[in-house]
Structure 1
């Protein structure tokens, strides 16, 4: 007796590829149907804007010197005592690029232990 050749079951990958292809075509068509911006409008350029630190942020220089609102401060308790309750809920630090990471972590930890709610580090991209 001859054995019947078993039909191999095909995987449904062809159907999946077709669905993905149709979705690709849909998004290409939907993206081109959007109205273009008026030709007379020119968009604002922000490349030349100078980013500045927020006025209520703690600025830490490369040598570890801290200033708050332009006044040099020496400790986290001194900073938090001069802040309002709302400002203590979210303390922003603007560190110098050359400040050692260990110093930044120590400052953040001392602010948390002194009673700061949330310590946020403001970066260059966040300023722009």
Structure 2
């Protein structure tokens, strides 16, 4: 009977630390991501030249029929929500539908001025 040397097993790779790192990265990216809230209604932006900018959370939405939405406020409650807006040194971004009549927007501007909104930015879609 002949004895042979025991077979050497290949050392197993430690996969548990790699899984831990992957889960830590996943948790980090989930916690640090800023997911914008959905728009209250669909708005087709007017075309313009330049870069397209994503709407921030404090955006005044106006649909084609003139319906207003600002954060959780809808309709005439938007004006009170705009008056209570914390930062007045930053421009209010308006996301108005391309089919909105310009006169409706023009009538809205003095109303915004009485609520303390002195600067606005009209968001458009890049061509």
Higher percent of residues as helix: 1
Task: Report the structure number with the largest CA radius of gyration.
Answer: 1
* Larger RCO (alpha carbons 8 Å, 6+ apart): 2
Superposition TM-score, scaled by structure 2 size? 0.49
Superposition TM-score, scaled by structure 1 size? 0.49
